[in-house]
Each structure stands twice: as C-alpha cells, then as structure tokens.
C-alpha cells in the first residue's frame, strides 16, 4: 500500500506524523474481538458519558488510521450505517456494476447542507408509520447499527483558517451524543473529501480541509474512534486537489467515479469486530429518509450559483454528450443520448429530482426546487432476451468468514451482465474445549472453546461438584448407669375359659303303680369345674341332702 504524501500537502504536522505510520496490507480480514460473545446479552443501560471520554471499547491493536485489509465484501457495507452531509446522500444515488445502490435508506442518514454542529439538534430522520422527526442520535438508537461511518466537515469550511477548535468541539459533542444513545456500535470518522481546483466557491481551500482532517485524527486518537483516510484514494498527490472527474462541476460534490472508489476503499480498509449489540425484542422501524429541502440555505454555495447535473449510465450502455453540467434552476441542460451496448437495449431515464423521458435523447430541465446536491439523471439498460450464461469474474471472490458472508461476481458471457452472489457465513468451528477452571464443591468450573478457524474464544460453565453431607463428630460412650432392682410383679395366671358342657335332656321314667311309699329319686349334681390349686387345705365334701318325704 502506498503511503499518502501528507508531508507535502498538510499544514498540520500532527497529521503528517499520523498518516505516515501506514501498515502493510493484511493477507486476511482482521477478526478483532471487541468483547466476548456473551456480552451480546448485556442489558442496554448506558451511563452518562462526557464528550471527552473514551466512549466505546475499541481494539487498540488496530491503528487509529485504518490500514489496508482484504476486501470485507458487500456484507460489511450493508452492516454499516452511513451518516453525513450531501455527499453521504449521493451514496444512495449511485449504484455499483451490478446495479445495486451503494447505500439505501435502511443504512443512510444523509442531510444536504448539514454541518457537524447540527448532529445533536437537527430533527431530520423519518420512519414509516411515524410522523415524528428524530435527531441523528435518536435515529441511531432506533436503527441499532453494528458500525457507523460518519462524514461531516464540508459544510463547516470557509476561508483558509487552520483553527479547528470550534469544529472539533461540535463534532466531539455529536459523537458523544450518538454513543450515549447507542453505545454498541463501532464509530469510524471519514475524512473530509478533497475539493476540485476549479471549484465554484474559491473561498473553500485545501489548506483548511487538511487542517481539519489533522484535527479529526487527533480527536479519534484521544476519544478511541477510528479514522478512515479516504483522501488517500480521492486526492491527486501531484496537485493536492481532488482527482480529475472525481467531483461534479461545482468542485465539491463527489461524482459516481469518486463514490465507486470511495466504497472500494471502505471495503478494503475495514474494521471488523465482534458484534456487541445486545439481544433486543424491539423491531427496527423502516426508515423513510430525510425530507427534501430540510435545510433551505447552503452554507458553502456561491450566491446565484448553478446547480450541478450529472448524467450516468447503468451496466449495458453509455452516454453520448456532456455528462457533467452546471445549469440554473429551471434551466435546460444540453442534450445527451443513451447508447446501448451490443446485446442490450435502452430501458428509460430516471432522475433523482424532476421528470425524465423515455426517449434515448434527452434535454433535461432542472427543477426549481433543486438544492446544492444537484441532480443525477440515470440512463437504464436491459439485456436483449436470452438465457444468461454466467461465469465467475476473476479476482472477485471474497471468501466468507465465521461471521460475515462472502461474495463473488459473475458475468454473463453473452450480454456482459454482472451480478454479485452471496456466499453464506461459515459459523464458528469450535474445538472440543479445555477445562480452564476446575469445578469445586458448590463452585462451577469453566470450559473454554476456541474456534479453529478464526481463533474466537467462548466459555461455558461446568456443573459444580456436589457438596459433601456433614458427618457428626464421634462422642464418648456414656458411663454405665447401675441397674435398678425392681420387685417383680406377681404373675397372674389367667383363669381358664370354662366351656359349658351340653345340658342333657331329663329322662322321664314312667311312675310305677303305687306299691307303698315311693323311694326318693336322687339326682346327682354335675361335678364342679376344677379350681386352680390353692395352698389351703382341701375342703370336706358337702353332704348330699336327702329330700324329706
């Protein structure tokens, strides 16, 4: 990677020293781990932070000025929220070679003519189904981005002064408010883009741009943000101004060629960290964008200046005629013509503002409500009817990582149509784990797992060992107590149960004829039940009574 020659073009020595510390290109996309994976479950409670504090955890192993990396792919762009002025708006107005816009309303908050001093106060972002306008910090909290690339400064320029004190104070306050509202995003500050030497407003100077960028680097170093040195790709080192055809005719706004180069730089100077956003049940609302004409006055426009108009073409064709023009509001541009490539046909014009025709030849009239951001008019083309035969485009494959999906471009061999295919993320490939903390009775242990692909580490608890049941300490046997002699109770022998003998029926003997005095009939009494033996003398038999006559 070529190190930018800031020593020749910057007035501030601080930036010279910082930007010359360029790192070598990395062979693989860095997997910087900001916080453990488990941190995603932390409750979203943010402490009040001061504007000068380090507001969010960053990987200090990565330099403040982001070095070159492998291409992070389209997923890196889609996971980024872009915030800024009219040049940020232009990210939604241009498309790559696949016809996909570089940014959409879902990940873009761009406000024409906005400066850093309005970050905390200007209510600018709308959401569908909600009539309220939200400030940028409040909108960020609703969008819950993984990372933010923010670029303000062009509308803070004016003159050749190199004193950036007020500008940095406003920027720092805005960043602190964003971080307080949503402390889970990585924040990357993008450099103020270079101006064209043939700019309309000659009061804007590169001396001031360079000084402000130097101050931004210092702020990022002090506050823990990262700095995206996009001037490295947008500036012509030989002149110190913007590269040829990288701005519109006003010399301030970036052209499609410049925005394409900008996003290539974003993807190849990536800052990838573990996602530290908490799990949330709140649905992310659908953005409705920034209302047109929210700021009526352009702080850097020349009074009576013409509106920049740019004509661009999608894949499958080109434009004949002047593609960058300056025209007064209500005026008409010089004619241009859409020319399709072989195997393609013209499909119509669209304009970022105003109406366009369906004829290949176009004389566009600039709307009276056009602002400083100008108008982009796009010629669209579509392939003739045929069956596409796609092949992979060489050197476009971006291999997926554990967390990020990869991409590869394919191109039709018949019509040249290009599209980008997504390669699914691989997911972590953990080893079997090692015990890094042995469990103890009542205390859980820790098992540590390492991804064999990217080195990411996660931990899991190990069940504590069972707690032993307390054992009673042995006690001395009690002294023997003398036995008490007790008088035995007399044994009572129960009386036997007497079973009555069956009573016999008396035998009736017929009385004999009287012959004299009848002899008395003596009936023997039944024998008494046996009595238990007693120690008394036996009783005499009772005499048998004889009934008297």
Phi, psi angle pair for 76, to nearest 5°: -65, -40
Adjacent-strand bridge partners of 226? 188
Mean pLDDT of 526-541: 49
pLDDT at 321 over 60: yes
Quick check: 92 and 107 in contact, CB under 8 A? Answer: no
Adjacent-strand bridge partners of 311? 377
Quick check: 300 and 259 in contact, CB under 8 A? Answer: no
pLDDT reported for residue 537: 47
pLDDT reported for residue 144: 96
d(CA 149, CA 188): 5
Q: Which residues of 125-162 are buried (b: 16+ CB within 10 A; e: fewer)?
A: bbbeeeeebbbbbbbbbbbbbbbbbbbbbbbbbeeeeb
Other CB atoms within 10 Å distance of the CB of residue 322: 13
What strands lie across the sheet with 336-340, from one edge to the other?
317-320, 336-340, 361-362
Q: Could you tell me which of 356, 350, 454 has the C-alpha nearest to residue 401?
A: 454
pLDDT reported for residue 218: 98
The string of pLDDT tens digits covering residues 484-531 is 555 555 555 555 555 555 545 554 545 545 444 445 444 445 555 555
pLDDT at 291 over 60: yes
Q: Residue 160 corresponds to which tokens in the numbers above?
A: 């050749």
Q: Which residues of 365-376 are buried (b: 16+ CB within 10 A; e: fewer)?
A: bbbeebbbbbbb
The string of pLDDT tens digits covering residues 242-260 is 999 999 988 999 999 999 9
Q: What pTM value is reported for the model? A: 0.63
Q: How far is CA 299 from the centre of its chain?
A: 37
Instruction: Kindly list the distances between the CA atom of residue 74 and the CA atoms of 232, 356, 390, in Å, as whole numbers in the listed order.
Output: 21, 31, 20
Beta strand 445-450 pairing with 307-313 = unpaired
Q: Which residues of 4-29 are buried (b: 16+ CB within 10 A; e: fewer)?
A: bbbeebbebeebbebbeebeeeeeeb
Instruction: Kindly list the distances between the CA atom of residue 157 and the CA atoms of 184, 381, 385, 442, in Å, as whole numbers in the listed order.
Output: 31, 39, 51, 65
Q: Which CATH architecture has domain 6-295?
A: 3-Layer(aba) Sandwich (3.40)
Which secondary structure element, helix H or strand E, spans residue 180, and what is its range? helix 165-181
Other CB atoms within 10 Å distance of the CB of residue 282: 8
Quick check: 215 and 298 in contact, CB under 8 A? Answer: no
Q: Where in the chain is the domain with CATH 3.40.50.1110?
A: 6-295
pLDDT at 339 over 50: yes
Q: Residue 227 corresponds to which tokens in the numbers above?
A: 């700095």
Q: Residue 307 corresponds to which tokens in the numbers above?
A: 């509106």
């Amino acid at each position: 990677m070529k190190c930018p020659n800031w020593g020749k073009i910057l007035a501030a020595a601080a930036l010279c020293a910082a930007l010359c510390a360029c790192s070598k290109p990395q062979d693989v996309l860095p997997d910087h781990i900001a916080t453990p994976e488990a941190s995603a479950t932390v409750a979203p409670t943010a402490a009040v932070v001061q504007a000068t504090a380090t507001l969010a955890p960053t990987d200090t192993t990565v330099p403040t000025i982001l070095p070159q990396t492998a291409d992070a792919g389209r997923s890196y762009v889609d996971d980024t929220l872009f915030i800024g002025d009219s040049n940020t708006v232009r990210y939604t107005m241009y498309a790559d070679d696949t016809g996909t816009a570089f940014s959409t309303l879902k990940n873009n908050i761009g406000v024409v003519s906005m400066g850093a001093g309005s970050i905390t106060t200007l209510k600018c972002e709308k959401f569908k189904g909600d009539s309220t306008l939200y400030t940028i910090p409040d909108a960020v909290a609703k969008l819950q981005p993984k990372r933010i690339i923010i670029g303000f400064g062009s509308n803070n320029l004016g003159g050749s002064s190199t004193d950036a004190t007020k500008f940095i104070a406003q920027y720092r306050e805005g960043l602190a408010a964003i971080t307080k509202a949503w402390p889970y995003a990585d924040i990357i500050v993008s450099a103020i883009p270079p101006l064209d030497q043939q700019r309309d407003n000659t009061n804007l100077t590169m001396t001031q741009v360079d000084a402000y960028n130097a101050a931004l680097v210092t702020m990022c170093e002090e506050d823990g943000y990262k700095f995206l040195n996009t001037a490295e790709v947008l500036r012509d080192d030989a002149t110190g101004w913007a590269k040829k055809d990288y701005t519109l005719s006003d010399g301030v706004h970036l052209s499609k060629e410049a925005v394409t180069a900008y996003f290539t730089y974003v993807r190849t100077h990536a800052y990838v960290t573990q996602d530290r956003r908490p799990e949330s049940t709140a649905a992310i609302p659908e953005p409705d964008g920034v209302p047109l004409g929210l700021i009526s006055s352009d702080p850097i426009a020349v009074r009576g200046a013409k509106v920049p108009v740019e004509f661009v073409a999608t894949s499958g064709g080109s434009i004949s005629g002047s593609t960058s023009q300056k025209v007064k509001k209500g005026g008409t541009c010089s004619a241009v013509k859409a020319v399709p490539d072989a195997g393609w046909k013209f499909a119509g014009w669209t304009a970022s503002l105003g109406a366009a025709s369906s004829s290949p030849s176009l004389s566009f009239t600039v709307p009276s409500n056009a602002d400083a951001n100008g108008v982009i008019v796009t010629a669209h083309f579509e392939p003739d009817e045929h069956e596409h035969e796609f092949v992979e485009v060489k050197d476009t494959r971006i291999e997926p990582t554990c967390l990020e999906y990869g991409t590869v471009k394919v191109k039709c061999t018949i019509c040249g149509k290009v599209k980008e295919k997504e390669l699914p993320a691989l997911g972590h490939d953990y080893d079997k784990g090692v015990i890094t903390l042995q469990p103890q009775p009542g205390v859980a242990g820790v098992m540590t797992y390492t991804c064999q692909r990217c080195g990411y580490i996660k931990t899991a608890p190990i069940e504590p060992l069972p707690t032993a049941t307390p054992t009673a300490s042995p006690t001395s046997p009690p002294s023997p107590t003398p036995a008490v002699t007790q008088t035995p109770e007399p044994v009572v022998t129960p009386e036997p149960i007497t079973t009555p003998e069956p009573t016999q029926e008396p035998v009736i003997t017929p009385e004999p004829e009287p012959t004299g005095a009848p002899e008395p009939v003596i009936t023997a009494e039944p024998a008494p039940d046996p009595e238990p033996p007693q120690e008394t003398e036996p009783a005499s038999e009772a005499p048998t009574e004889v009934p008297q006559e």
